[in-house]
Every structure is written in structure tokens, then in C-alpha cells.
């Protein structure tokens, strides 16, 4: 698997498997299938309620801990100095490991400074190999990086052919933050899996729309974690390292950028209020 070097020198697989919206009772089977077809990086979160399933699957796989890259995220109900540390301990227990490869702050709301200070402490003590954020757009990212000791190494944001994040990437590049895509297949929105431009490029290379879109992200230097509950699609999505998009393909896909989210506006006041309600999604760690 191709890797991307983070600012602290850690090599992270450029492609992994995401488990958002996979119910807790299905997660172990899905992650076992994903490891079986060759994924070695798993992306979960406290707010997906399935960290235990990830932990059971990698433990049973027989794969050495150092050959797996585990990513999880702190939910906003666990933000704040001391509280975030308790939640890191809880995630470690659920994932059945004594270190996490990459831990992110999931959202730019609530006490993100206190939370990030705990990430820094846990990083320094070796519980976390790398730290970063998710859904931090330039305003929040610049602010956090300027006020914390260690700049976020990764920022996981919605990134796909219809929302390419070119402007946000300029700020990430300045700070030394690597971009990681969530929703690399746009969760199928915008007629994604039948989109004519992508289907045409796919026909040329004998690849599916999903494979073209994921390959485009890989060639654009983005870390990706597509989700599928189906083993055959997990394998299909991983099978993108035997072809290359040419300059014409890349410019045709560049034209698809709508420069806006298909999901959520983190700057909208109503959405901020919604997040305050979503604090209760995860019980604070004890």
C-alpha cells in the first residue's frame, strides 16, 4: 500500500476503510472482510459506536499490531482538558490496543482547545502516534494551528469529485496538514455512480465509476477511506493501483468541482445549534 508521510515522519497508508454508518453488530464482520481483502487502515470514531467491533476484528485477524493503522475521533461531548484524556483511554480499551495511530477531533465545536491539548499530551506520552482534526475549515484550522504547540498532522474533510477542497488545501499545505477525504464516493449523491464524465473515463480504462473517482483522489495526494458493507465492493474499491488517469482525465474531473458541500455547512448557525443537540450522541467517558 502506498503511504503518505505526516509532518512528524509517521508513514500512513494512503488508502483505508471507513466504518461510518456500520451498525455495531455488523462492524466486526465488515472489518474482518476489509482486512481479508487487503485493507490495513481502519477509520472509526467514538460517535460511530463501533470501536469495539474494530477492536475485535483486528485482534482476531492475527495481523500484527504494527501492520495495522487505526484511526479514531473524539466526539464533542468528550472535549475539554482531562475529559478528552479519559475518552482516549476508553477508545484504547474498546480498540484493544495500547496506542492509536491517528486520533482526530471530530468537529470544530465546543472546547476544542482543551481537547487538542489532551491530544498533544497523549501524543507526547506515546498513546497516539499522530494527531489531527476533522471538519476544520481554514478559519478553525488556522486558529488552532496558531494557538497550539503541535500543528494538526491530518485534517479529514468532505472531499470528492464534486467538492475538491482546493482553497482549503492551500491552508493545509501552509500548515503542513495532510488532507484525508471523508465521503470519497459522495455517498452516491449527485447521481455519482452513473455520472457520465466518470462513467466515460471508466469505460476507457475498463474501471468502474467508484474506481475512477478513488484513483483521482489518490493521484491528487488525498488519503481515502471509502466505506462499503459488501466484500466485493471493498475489493473493487481497493483495486485502483494498476492503472493511471491521464492529463485529459484529470482535467475533465477538475471541471466537476462545485466547490460546496453536498452534506453540511459547518458555518451555518442552525447547523451549529444542531451540533449542540448532537453532543448527547456519545455519553462522556467516565
Give the residue numbers marked as catalytic: 48
CB 42 within 8 A of CB 54: yes
By the rule CB under 6 A, 152 interacts with ligand NAP? no
In the stretch 60-89, what mask flags binding to ligand NAP with x, by CB under 6 A?
------------------------------
* 188 lies in the binding site for ligand NAP (CB under 6 A): yes
- Which residue matches cell numbers 491517528? 102
* One character per residue 194-233, x = contact with ligand NAP (rule: CB under 6 A): ----------------x--------------xxxxxx--x
* Binding residues for ligand NAP restricted to 222-281, rule: CB under 6 A: 225-230, 233, 236-237
List the Cα angle 96/97/103 in 5-degree steps. 110
How many angstroms separate the CA atoms of 11 and 213, rounded?
23
Task: Pick between residue 124 and residue 260 the one whose CB is nearest to ligand NAP.
Answer: 260
Q: Which stretch binds ligand NAP (CB under 6 A): 13-21, 61-69, 139-147, 249-257?
A: 13-21
Nearest residue (CB) to ligand NAP, 75 versus 123: 75
Neighbours of 221 (CB within 10 A): 12
DSSP string, 206-227: T--HHHHHHHHHHHTT-EE---
Note the helical H segments in the chain: 24-37, 51-61, 83-95, 112-124, 138-147, 166-175, 196-205, 209-219, 231-238, 247-254, 269-278
Looking at residues 88 to 107 of the shown chain, list those that interact with ligand NAP (rule: CB under 6 A). Answer: 106
Nearest residue (CB) to ligand NAP, 125 versus 191: 191
Residue keyed to cell 487505526: 70
CB-nearer residue toward ligand NAP: 220 or 228: 228
Amino acid at each position: 500500500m502506498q503511504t503518505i508521510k505526516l509532518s512528524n515522519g509517521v508513514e500512513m497508508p494512503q488508502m483505508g476503510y471507513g466504518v461510518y454508518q456500520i451498525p455495531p453488530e455488523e462492524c466486526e464482520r465488515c472489518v474482518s472482510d476489509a482486512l481479508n481483502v487487503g485493507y490495513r487502515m481502519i477509520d472509526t470514531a467514538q460517535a460511530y459506536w463501533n470501536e469495539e467491533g474494530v477492536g475485535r476484528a483486528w485482534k482476531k485477524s492475527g495481523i500484527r499490531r504494527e501492520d495495522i493503522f487505526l484511526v479514531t475521533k473524539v466526539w464533542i461531548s468528550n472535549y475539554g482538558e482531562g475529559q478528552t484524556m479519559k475518552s482516549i483511554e476508553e477508545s484504547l480499551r474498546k480498540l484493544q490496543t495500547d496506542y492509536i495511530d491517528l486520533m482526530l477531533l471530530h468537529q470544530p465545536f465546543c472546547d476544542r482547545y482543551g481537547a487538542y491539548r489532551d491530544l498533544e499530551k497523549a501524543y507526547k506520552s506515546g498513546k497516539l502516534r499522530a494527531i489531527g482534526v476533522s471538519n476544520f475549515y481554514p478559519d478553525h484550522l488556522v486558529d488552532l494551528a496558531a494557538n497550539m504547540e503541535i500543528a494538526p498532522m491530518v485534517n479529514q474533510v468532505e472531499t470528492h469529485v464534486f467538492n475538491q477542497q482546493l482553497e482549503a488545501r492551500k491552508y493545509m499545505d501552509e500548515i503542513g496538514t495532510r488532507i484525508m477525504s471523508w465521503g470519497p464516493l459522495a455517498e452516491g449523491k449527485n447521481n455519482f455512480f452513473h455520472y457520465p464524465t466518470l462513467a466515460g473515463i471508466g469505460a476507457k480504462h475498463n474501471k468502474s465509476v467508484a474506481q475512477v473517482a478513488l484513483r483521482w483522489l489518490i493521484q491528487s495526494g488525498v488519503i481515502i477511506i471509502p466505506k462499503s458493507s459488501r466484500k466485493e465492493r471493498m475489493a473493487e474499491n481497493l483495486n485502483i493501483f494498476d492503472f493511471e488517469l491521464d492529463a485529459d482525465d484529470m482535467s475533465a474531473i477538475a471541471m466537476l468541482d462545485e466547490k460546496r458541500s453536498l452534506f453540511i455547512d459547518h458555518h451555518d448557525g442552525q447547523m451549529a445549534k444542531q451540533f449542540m443537540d448532537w453532543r448527547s450522541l456519545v455519553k462522556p467517558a467516565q
